[in-house]
Amino acid sequence: MQRPTLRQLEYFVALADLLNFREAAEACFVTQPAMSAQIAQLEALVGVPLFERAKRQVRLTAAGAALLPGAQDILRGTDALGELARSLGAPLHGPLRLGAIPTVGPYLLPKVLPAVHAAHPELALYLREDLTARLVARLEEGELDVLLVDVDVELGGLETESLFSDPFVVAVRCDDELAGRDELTLADLRDRDVLLLEEGHCLRDQTLPLCERAGGGEPLGFRGSSLGTITQMVVGGLGLTLLPELAVERELAAAPGLATVTFGADGPGRTIGLAWRQSSPRADEFRALGATIARAWAALT
């Protein structure tokens, strides 16, 4: 039996995702007639229609839906084979798709990328910034190679490599009574309004239990979409917040009137690291990249 080609499977998966011949053809950088011809050839090979074609709509048939996961697995397998070939030939050479959460990427990457480029000049990093859950989904689907995230949170079955600890600090207005203290404890948050990020941020999932344990409360109606928004709300007198130390320098510069106070050596924090699929053949490359990032950050702190 003649086997489907990778091109036919790629077109099949693209059309199943977009359900529009024109959009799928554009996504695959081919003409619509070329895509239609390849889909027709694939249907002839498997002996069943994969799509139901109406005048203005395309739908997957039951057979198409049944065959789609297998086609996706084959394409992921060929991608993994390509990754393995690249890693054997030249580790950390060529494109690397990196996902980063918004409470890490903007604060860490600008400081460490010069060192990464110096250590791995042939590496081309492509960055995707998003919330943890969506990054993990993209990684598992093969759209990303490795993630830069908080590895203390639940990441499913991903392989992880810890890079450095990132303590939390308390951010208050400069005229707040806590601003002049040398160190704080969680008890100092009792009965205070604590501003937190909106749902979906792993930083919220970590800091909310700390605030609840301390007896602090989240004011109704106030949730920030970014750390920058939160710190501006603090300066505006709406409460205090917990910041990762990684973000302190940038947020202090962006928010005059903001002050930070540490918790001390035993205070709460998070662990920044890399995460990747257990099946990835590039694990040694990711560890080498992590070591470069960790050294670069340590030299700056």
pLDDT tens digits for 63-103? 999 999 999 988 888 887 777 666 655 678 778 999 999 98
Mean pLDDT of the residues in the chain: 86
On whether both 124 and 107 belong to a single domain, the answer is yes
The range of the structural domain enclosing residue 263 comes to 166-269
pLDDT category of residue 198 using cuts at 50, 70 and 90: low
Which percentage of the chain shows pLDDT scores above 90? 43
Q: Among 116-120, 127-131, 196-200, 220-224, which stretch is predicted with the lowest mean pLDDT?
A: 220-224
Residue 262 domain-assigned?
A: yes
Is 0.85 topped by the overall pTM? Answer: no
Give me the residues paired with residue 160 across strands.
275
On whether both 95 and 150 belong to a single domain, the answer is yes
On whether both 158 and 293 belong to a single domain, the answer is yes
CATH number of the domain to which 32 belongs? 1.10.10.10
pLDDT category of residue 281 using cuts at 50, 70 and 90: confident
Which percentage of the chain shows pLDDT scores above 70? 88
On whether both 158 and 278 belong to a single domain, the answer is yes
DSSP at 49: -
**Number of domain units in the chain:** 3
The CA distance from 276 to 261, in Å, is: 34
CATH number of the domain to which 150 belongs? 3.40.190.10
Residue 80 domain-assigned?
A: no
Residue 105 domain-assigned?
A: yes
Residue 1 domain-assigned?
A: no
Give the number of other Cβ atoms within 10 Å of residue 22's Cβ. 11
On whether both 102 and 31 belong to a single domain, the answer is no
On whether both 291 and 150 belong to a single domain, the answer is yes
Residue 82 domain-assigned?
A: no
> 144: phi > 0 → left, psi -120 to 50 → alpha, else beta; which?
beta
On whether both 217 and 287 belong to a single domain, the answer is no
